[in-house]
Amino acid sequence: MPLNFAFTTVQVLWTLTFAAHLVLLVVLIGRDRARRFPFFTAAIALAALRLLSSRLLYGRLPQLTMSEIFIALADVAAVVALLVVGDIARRAFRTVQQRTLIVWTVVLMVLGGLVLGFWGPWPAWKTLTAGSLLSTLQLMQLMAQKTALLVDVLTIALGVLVLLFGRRYGAGWRSHAQQLLIGLSTASLSQMAVQTIWGIIAKTAVPHSMEEYEHILGLREKLLNGSNAVYLLVLIWWIICLWINEPGEKQEAASTGENMPAGELPEDTQK
Protein backbone atom coordinates (compact mmCIF):
# COMPACT_ATOMS: atom_id res chain seq x y z
CA MET A 1 0.00 0.00 0.00
CA PRO A 2 1.65 3.26 -1.10
CA LEU A 3 2.05 5.97 1.49
CA ASN A 4 0.51 9.35 0.77
CA PHE A 5 2.26 12.27 2.46
CA ALA A 6 -0.14 15.15 1.85
CA PHE A 7 2.17 17.86 3.19
CA THR A 8 2.99 20.98 1.25
CA THR A 9 6.39 22.67 1.24
CA VAL A 10 4.98 25.47 3.35
CA GLN A 11 3.71 23.05 5.99
CA VAL A 12 7.02 21.16 6.14
CA LEU A 13 9.02 24.38 6.45
CA TRP A 14 6.65 25.70 9.13
CA THR A 15 6.95 22.51 11.18
CA LEU A 16 10.73 22.33 10.93
CA THR A 17 11.14 26.04 11.66
CA PHE A 18 8.89 25.93 14.71
CA ALA A 19 10.70 22.85 16.02
CA ALA A 20 14.07 24.55 15.43
CA HIS A 21 12.93 27.56 17.46
CA LEU A 22 12.01 25.29 20.36
CA VAL A 23 15.33 23.43 20.18
CA LEU A 24 17.21 26.73 20.05
CA LEU A 25 15.36 27.95 23.14
CA VAL A 26 16.31 24.75 24.95
CA VAL A 27 19.96 25.30 24.00
CA LEU A 28 19.86 28.95 25.04
CA ILE A 29 18.43 28.11 28.46
CA GLY A 30 20.15 24.78 29.05
CA ARG A 31 23.61 26.00 28.04
CA ASP A 32 23.20 29.25 29.98
CA ARG A 33 23.30 31.42 26.86
CA ALA A 34 20.04 33.20 27.66
CA ARG A 35 21.73 35.12 30.45
CA ARG A 36 24.38 36.41 28.05
CA PHE A 37 21.98 37.14 25.18
CA PRO A 38 18.64 38.07 26.79
CA PHE A 39 17.32 40.11 23.86
CA PHE A 40 18.22 37.39 21.36
CA THR A 41 16.45 34.82 23.54
CA ALA A 42 13.38 37.05 23.74
CA ALA A 43 13.43 37.47 19.95
CA ILE A 44 13.51 33.71 19.38
CA ALA A 45 10.68 33.14 21.87
CA LEU A 46 8.64 35.87 20.20
CA ALA A 47 9.29 34.37 16.76
CA ALA A 48 8.05 30.99 17.99
CA LEU A 49 4.95 32.67 19.45
CA ARG A 50 4.23 34.40 16.14
CA LEU A 51 4.59 31.13 14.25
CA LEU A 52 2.27 29.31 16.63
CA SER A 53 -0.33 32.08 16.70
CA SER A 54 -0.38 32.31 12.90
CA ARG A 55 -1.19 28.61 12.70
CA LEU A 56 -3.74 28.49 15.54
CA LEU A 57 -5.56 31.78 14.92
CA TYR A 58 -5.60 32.06 11.14
CA GLY A 59 -9.15 31.66 9.86
CA ARG A 60 -10.57 31.28 13.38
CA LEU A 61 -10.94 34.96 14.26
CA PRO A 62 -12.46 37.93 12.45
CA GLN A 63 -10.06 39.50 9.96
CA LEU A 64 -9.82 42.79 11.84
CA THR A 65 -9.06 41.05 15.13
CA MET A 66 -6.35 38.93 13.55
CA SER A 67 -4.84 42.03 11.98
CA GLU A 68 -4.70 43.77 15.35
CA ILE A 69 -2.96 40.78 16.98
CA PHE A 70 -0.45 40.11 14.19
CA ILE A 71 0.45 43.76 13.62
CA ALA A 72 0.95 44.32 17.35
CA LEU A 73 3.22 41.26 17.52
CA ALA A 74 5.12 42.51 14.46
CA ASP A 75 5.74 45.87 16.16
CA VAL A 76 7.03 44.23 19.32
CA ALA A 77 9.21 41.84 17.30
CA ALA A 78 10.71 44.74 15.30
CA VAL A 79 11.63 46.66 18.46
CA VAL A 80 13.15 43.54 20.06
CA ALA A 81 15.10 42.85 16.86
CA LEU A 82 16.55 46.36 17.02
CA LEU A 83 17.63 45.71 20.61
CA VAL A 84 19.20 42.41 19.50
CA VAL A 85 21.30 44.18 16.88
CA GLY A 86 22.52 46.76 19.39
CA ASP A 87 23.33 44.17 22.05
CA ILE A 88 25.23 41.81 19.75
CA ALA A 89 27.09 44.68 18.07
CA ARG A 90 28.21 45.89 21.50
CA ARG A 91 29.51 42.43 22.34
CA ALA A 92 31.15 41.89 18.96
CA PHE A 93 33.05 45.20 19.14
CA ARG A 94 33.56 45.39 22.88
CA THR A 95 37.15 46.71 22.63
CA VAL A 96 36.40 49.53 20.16
CA GLN A 97 37.13 53.02 21.44
CA GLN A 98 34.12 55.14 22.34
CA ARG A 99 34.80 57.76 19.65
CA THR A 100 35.15 55.14 16.92
CA LEU A 101 31.98 53.43 18.09
CA ILE A 102 30.01 56.67 17.92
CA VAL A 103 31.29 57.44 14.40
CA TRP A 104 30.35 54.00 13.10
CA THR A 105 26.95 54.19 14.78
CA VAL A 106 26.21 57.48 13.04
CA VAL A 107 27.41 56.09 9.69
CA LEU A 108 25.23 53.00 9.99
CA MET A 109 22.17 54.99 11.06
CA VAL A 110 22.60 57.37 8.10
CA LEU A 111 22.89 54.37 5.80
CA GLY A 112 19.76 52.86 7.32
CA GLY A 113 17.90 56.15 6.98
CA LEU A 114 18.79 56.42 3.29
CA VAL A 115 17.58 52.89 2.63
CA LEU A 116 14.34 53.57 4.51
CA GLY A 117 13.76 56.68 2.48
CA PHE A 118 14.18 55.09 -0.94
CA TRP A 119 13.21 51.45 -0.34
CA GLY A 120 9.55 50.70 -0.81
CA PRO A 121 6.54 53.00 -1.05
CA TRP A 122 5.45 55.42 1.65
CA PRO A 123 1.67 55.88 2.07
CA ALA A 124 0.12 59.33 2.16
CA TRP A 125 0.35 60.97 5.57
CA LYS A 126 -3.37 61.78 5.51
CA THR A 127 -4.12 58.09 5.20
CA LEU A 128 -2.10 57.30 8.33
CA THR A 129 -3.57 60.14 10.41
CA ALA A 130 -7.24 59.73 9.51
CA GLY A 131 -8.10 58.90 13.13
CA SER A 132 -9.82 55.59 12.39
CA LEU A 133 -8.90 52.12 13.60
CA LEU A 134 -7.85 51.16 10.08
CA SER A 135 -5.46 54.11 9.80
CA THR A 136 -3.99 53.26 13.20
CA LEU A 137 -3.35 49.69 12.07
CA GLN A 138 -1.78 50.99 8.85
CA LEU A 139 0.53 53.25 10.85
CA MET A 140 1.49 50.36 13.15
CA GLN A 141 2.11 48.11 10.16
CA LEU A 142 4.28 50.78 8.52
CA MET A 143 6.33 51.13 11.71
CA ALA A 144 6.84 47.37 11.87
CA GLN A 145 7.87 47.13 8.21
CA LYS A 146 10.27 50.08 8.28
CA THR A 147 11.81 49.06 11.61
CA ALA A 148 12.32 45.54 10.29
CA LEU A 149 13.94 46.99 7.16
CA LEU A 150 16.24 49.15 9.30
CA VAL A 151 17.20 46.05 11.30
CA ASP A 152 17.99 44.17 8.08
CA VAL A 153 20.22 46.98 6.79
CA LEU A 154 22.05 47.40 10.09
CA THR A 155 22.48 43.65 10.48
CA ILE A 156 23.96 43.19 7.00
CA ALA A 157 26.33 46.12 7.49
CA LEU A 158 27.41 44.83 10.91
CA GLY A 159 27.88 41.36 9.47
CA VAL A 160 30.33 42.76 6.92
CA LEU A 161 32.14 44.78 9.60
CA VAL A 162 32.45 41.85 11.98
CA LEU A 163 33.86 39.64 9.23
CA LEU A 164 36.44 42.29 8.38
CA PHE A 165 37.36 43.60 11.84
CA GLY A 166 35.74 41.23 14.34
CA ARG A 167 38.89 39.36 15.35
CA ARG A 168 40.74 42.65 15.83
CA TYR A 169 38.13 43.99 18.24
CA GLY A 170 37.35 40.95 20.32
CA ALA A 171 34.93 38.86 18.24
CA GLY A 172 36.84 35.93 16.79
CA TRP A 173 35.34 33.41 14.39
CA ARG A 174 34.35 31.06 17.21
CA SER A 175 32.82 33.72 19.43
CA HIS A 176 29.06 33.45 19.92
CA ALA A 177 28.58 37.15 19.17
CA GLN A 178 30.11 36.81 15.71
CA GLN A 179 28.28 33.55 15.03
CA LEU A 180 24.94 35.10 15.95
CA LEU A 181 25.65 38.17 13.85
CA ILE A 182 26.65 36.07 10.84
CA GLY A 183 23.36 34.18 11.10
CA LEU A 184 21.35 37.37 11.47
CA SER A 185 23.04 39.03 8.50
CA THR A 186 22.54 35.92 6.35
CA ALA A 187 18.82 35.82 7.14
CA SER A 188 18.48 39.57 6.52
CA LEU A 189 20.38 39.37 3.23
CA SER A 190 18.16 36.52 2.06
CA GLN A 191 14.99 38.41 2.99
CA MET A 192 16.08 41.63 1.27
CA ALA A 193 17.13 39.67 -1.82
CA VAL A 194 13.69 38.07 -2.03
CA GLN A 195 11.99 41.46 -1.62
CA THR A 196 14.17 42.94 -4.36
CA ILE A 197 13.57 40.08 -6.80
CA TRP A 198 9.84 40.05 -6.16
CA GLY A 199 9.66 43.83 -6.54
CA ILE A 200 11.29 43.57 -9.97
CA ILE A 201 8.95 40.75 -11.00
CA ALA A 202 5.85 42.60 -9.78
CA LYS A 203 6.80 45.74 -11.73
CA THR A 204 7.82 44.08 -14.98
CA ALA A 205 5.56 41.04 -15.25
CA VAL A 206 2.33 41.61 -17.18
CA PRO A 207 0.20 38.45 -17.13
CA HIS A 208 -2.06 37.95 -20.16
CA SER A 209 -3.89 34.92 -18.87
CA MET A 210 -4.86 33.21 -15.66
CA GLU A 211 -2.11 30.65 -16.18
CA GLU A 212 0.55 33.35 -16.39
CA TYR A 213 -0.90 35.03 -13.29
CA GLU A 214 -0.78 31.76 -11.34
CA HIS A 215 2.77 31.20 -12.57
CA ILE A 216 3.81 34.57 -11.16
CA LEU A 217 2.17 33.76 -7.82
CA GLY A 218 3.99 30.43 -7.87
CA LEU A 219 7.30 32.24 -8.30
CA ARG A 220 6.49 34.38 -5.28
CA GLU A 221 5.76 31.30 -3.20
CA LYS A 222 9.02 29.69 -4.29
CA LEU A 223 10.96 32.81 -3.36
CA LEU A 224 9.35 32.91 0.07
CA ASN A 225 10.00 29.21 0.58
CA GLY A 226 13.62 29.73 -0.36
CA SER A 227 13.98 32.56 2.15
CA ASN A 228 12.31 30.44 4.83
CA ALA A 229 14.68 27.56 4.04
CA VAL A 230 17.67 29.88 4.50
CA TYR A 231 16.28 31.00 7.85
CA LEU A 232 15.86 27.36 8.88
CA LEU A 233 19.51 26.73 8.08
CA VAL A 234 20.42 29.79 10.14
CA LEU A 235 18.48 28.37 13.09
CA ILE A 236 20.39 25.09 12.79
CA TRP A 237 23.65 27.06 12.62
CA TRP A 238 22.74 28.88 15.85
CA ILE A 239 21.80 25.63 17.59
CA ILE A 240 25.17 24.07 16.77
CA CYS A 241 27.23 27.17 17.54
CA LEU A 242 25.51 27.97 20.84
CA TRP A 243 25.81 24.38 22.00
CA ILE A 244 29.59 24.53 21.60
CA ASN A 245 31.55 26.53 24.14
CA GLU A 246 33.61 29.51 23.10
CA PRO A 247 37.40 29.09 23.31
CA GLY A 248 38.44 29.38 26.96
CA GLU A 249 34.86 29.55 28.23
CA LYS A 250 35.17 26.62 30.66
CA GLN A 251 38.47 27.87 32.01
CA GLU A 252 37.09 31.36 32.55
CA ALA A 253 33.97 30.03 34.30
CA ALA A 254 36.06 27.79 36.55
CA SER A 255 38.47 30.59 37.48
CA THR A 256 35.74 33.11 38.27
CA GLY A 257 33.47 30.63 40.07
CA GLU A 258 30.51 31.37 37.79
CA ASN A 259 27.83 28.81 37.04
CA MET A 260 28.90 26.65 34.14
CA PRO A 261 26.50 25.63 31.36
CA ALA A 262 24.35 22.59 32.00
CA GLY A 263 26.20 19.40 31.33
CA GLU A 264 29.64 20.96 31.92
CA LEU A 265 31.07 20.05 35.31
CA PRO A 266 34.57 20.74 36.59
CA GLU A 267 36.96 17.86 36.09
CA ASP A 268 37.45 17.21 39.80
CA THR A 269 33.69 16.67 40.29
CA GLN A 270 33.48 14.17 37.45
CA LYS A 271 35.87 11.76 39.12
Per residue in 218-250, pLDDT (tens digit) is 888 888 999 999 999 999 999 999 999 877 565
The more confidently predicted of residues 37 and 127 is: 37
Lowest mean pLDDT among 53-67, 103-117, 202-216: 202-216
Residue 182 has pLDDT above 80, yes or no: yes
Predicted structure pTM score: 0.81
Among 202, 192, 194, 236, CA closest to 16? 236
Residue pair 8/28 in contact (Cβ under 8 Å)? The answer is no
pLDDT of 83 above 60:
yes
Q: Are 253 and 260 in contact (CB under 8 A)?
A: yes
CA neighbor of 180 nearest in space, from 107, 111, 49, 91: 91
Q: pLDDT class for 254, splitting at 50, 70, 90?
A: very low
- The CB density around residue 192, as the number of other CB atoms within 10 Å, is 18
The pLDDT of residue 173 is above 80: no
Half-sphere exposure of 265 (CA within 13 A, CB side): 6
Phi, psi dihedrals of residue 45, rounded to the nearest 5°: -65, -40
CA-closest candidate to residue 240, choices 182, 185, 189: 182
Q: What is the pLDDT of residue 6?
A: 55
- What 3-state class would DSSP assign to 96? coil
